[in-house]
Structure 1
């Protein structure tokens, strides 16, 4: 299908382009300019008062059945999966809408064993070659490793040692893979960066010193501020995503009910404080570190696609400009993960597009006022997801995962 989007603000790499029309053919952007680029047989979309963005990229999810389809209804057209089992990867389509680590590298019994069925562990440096080869055979696009002893959450978990992190990183780099490391503390972040990893999967929860920030200068960081910011009830007494009317309006009844149910789960008397993570995020951004927008969906309170719009709000609240937040969800992750065909409004790029009312360079919440989304030039129809077999399979998968986690917790802390 060929279409031309007319009379719109075009934002690429966080700046407004000197054009107001964009034409798509054969799933690609073929021209950018004025009204004359439209061809006689094109579908024409009058986008007066709206802004056209590249399809958004969520740099941190864990796949579930139908998650790519759900995310696309919110204009999140690419997801970077940071730990999923091969059977989930095989079911999820289209393959062009996500990139995956497959199974992450962790020590026996280490994080996130509690959330998954049995999977291969890494016991030491000697396992690195086999582990990386197996992930590549499963279709991995990057390597995820976990370096977290639980101390950031006052837990005691087995974890990889630095020699094993180094061996995994070296082997992955030998095969051209980007290496992402899950960490939760400043000390762990510095250690994995010394081992050569490329991306940190979370901003540390304890305060980074100036020396720490200098040590992290050459890596990218996926902020995931919404894990805390949206995972616990807010002032309204419910999960914050439920207080976003534009996002909730696009959400199916079953997902809304899931959020309501999660709002009623046990909550600590005082929700965790994300102030330090926000301070760290801004300090890293100011130091030139590439901050990427990622949600860690489907943690409690997070919904594929919808929560990335909330993550943009968290980044701006932390002190990034709206332009910097948009970069964190478009061209920055595309460049860090070498996704050369997306994240841009540029001739030749995939026509993954998000059309929103208003100007997100002025008000970042404008990204939530969605008019249309397209993947490879084809319109996304939210009604095709709601009530579908994919939606039911995804919610069933999340229910089974939650039950597995609760059973493991009861084993560890019997009442």
Structure 2
């Protein structure tokens, strides 16, 4: 019996041989890539990874030669919706093996569809307006809290404390709590560049937006932000504070992508053919790639948001990658690649941008065994045909997507939805 069990285990062992393991440690500042590597995968986990001369290939394993290719963790979109099987397919097709999923029935991203098969891993996001809601969300398997506009500073402190006790991450889209107070409370990350820029506003404007975050005060604030000099003292001061704290930023720059004067048509990606524009908030035109103008948002806001974000990056801010899909025309999987490219546009190196979608989420959110190609880690793996640390666009040159130890049939994803 033992012999049969051993043979069964070996038949399920997958080996990637000959590729370069991309180092994503230390927020992408480490560059210890392993060339001519071996990655051994069994039962959904990486059981060995290293140089070929130091890493044994088990007898009887399924060995795939990937000479000349690059091996990195599957991508994690840390702020996203998923409302259909087609969207699940699109994430996987583009190498996104995990998302932090926002459930928004009737909202911009729609109800979170958790029955997709195949599907990226989904870590549920839950918005809170009162710390008393946390325990119920945890019982419903929420893993990331979104501390929302009505929460006051004392409530935010209580929420972060309870989140830590329950092993939950906590991100903020804030109003009544200032972002400085949230840093002091220990919030893990802030979401949306145009939202955590609220710290740049006057106390009166801040108070007005906090009370009506989606009403006319927001429009006035966005106009202020569009007109603000990125080199002003207030931006410099806020950038320094962001860099000095342990908080990470999820700028969701891809939400501004279609408003930029020059952008590509996201519908031209092959996997976009299976997506339904009806499932997308304010979708771009399939033929032209042009998006309808969002009401209440100044046309010149997007370019200046990017300029201000570049100053935060220059100051030393730490980043996580979230696309905001499917709000404002963002598309599953496709827009995370846009997000990573835009992170390099504001000055991150390609390796640092990759870390924002791989190792950084595990470090910031205290998730074990995800986001690196190392023994003991989840076998969510992306193999690409060109060096993504030389050009972030090379992340789209996908040879293999491995999810939970299984090779995903990308051609089938184009047909089955």
Could you state the TM-score of these two structures normalised by the residue count of structure 1?
Answer: 0.74
Contact 2:265 2:290 in 1 (8 A): no
**Which residues of 2 match residues 110-125 of structure 1 at below 5 A?**
122=129
1:182-222 Cα distance to aligned partner (Å, 9 max, x none): 1499x943243244322101224545633323332221111
Q: How many Å apart are 1:55 and its aligned residue?
A: 0.6
Q: How many Å apart are 1:253 and its aligned residue?
A: 3.9
Q: How many Å apart are 1:264 and its aligned residue?
A: 5.9
Structure 1: runs of 5 or more not aligned: 106-121, 148-158, 392-415
Could you state the TM-score of these two structures normalised by the residue count of structure 2?
Answer: 0.73
**Which residues of 2 match residues 2-401 of structure 1 at below 5 A?**
2-13=13-24, 14=28, 15=31, 16-32=33-49, 33-34=51-52, 37-66=56-85, 67-84=87-104, 88=112, 90-91=114-115, 97-102=121-126, 104-105=127-128, 122=129, 127-129=130-132, 131-147=133-149, 159-183=150-174, 188-203=178-193, 204-205=196-197, 206=225, 209-216=235-242, 217-229=245-257, 231-232=258-259, 234-235=261-262, 240-242=265-267, 248-255=269-276, 261=285, 263=289, 266-267=292-293, 271-388=299-416, 391=417
Q: Distance in 1 between matches of 2:311 and 2:117?
A: 37
Contact 1:228 1:272 in 2 (8 A): no
Q: Distance in 2 between matches of 1:340 and 1:87?
A: 28
Q: How many Å apart are 1:8 and its aligned residue?
A: 1.2
Change (3 A) 1:172 1:94: farther
Q: Distance in 1 between matches of 2:292 and 2:334?
A: 23
1:23-59 Cα distance to aligned partner (Å, 9 max, x none): 2122221222217733342222222332111111111
Change (3 A) 1:51 1:255: farther
Q: Distance in 2 between matches of 1:83 and 1:191?
A: 27
Q: Distance in 2 between matches of 1:275 and 1:234?
A: 9
**Paired residue secondary structure (1:319):** coil
Contact 1:63 1:84 in 2 (8 A): no
Q: Distance in 2 between matches of 1:266 and 1:88?
A: 25
Change (3 A) 1:22 1:172: closer
Change (3 A) 1:254 1:295: closer
**Paired residue secondary structure (1:365):** helix
Contact 1:222 1:294 in 2 (8 A): yes
Change (3 A) 1:329 1:276: same
1:336-386 Cα distance to aligned partner (Å, 9 max, x none): 112212100111111111111111111110001111100022011234444
Change (3 A) 1:225 1:270: same
Deviates more, 1:168-177 or 1:52-61: 168-177
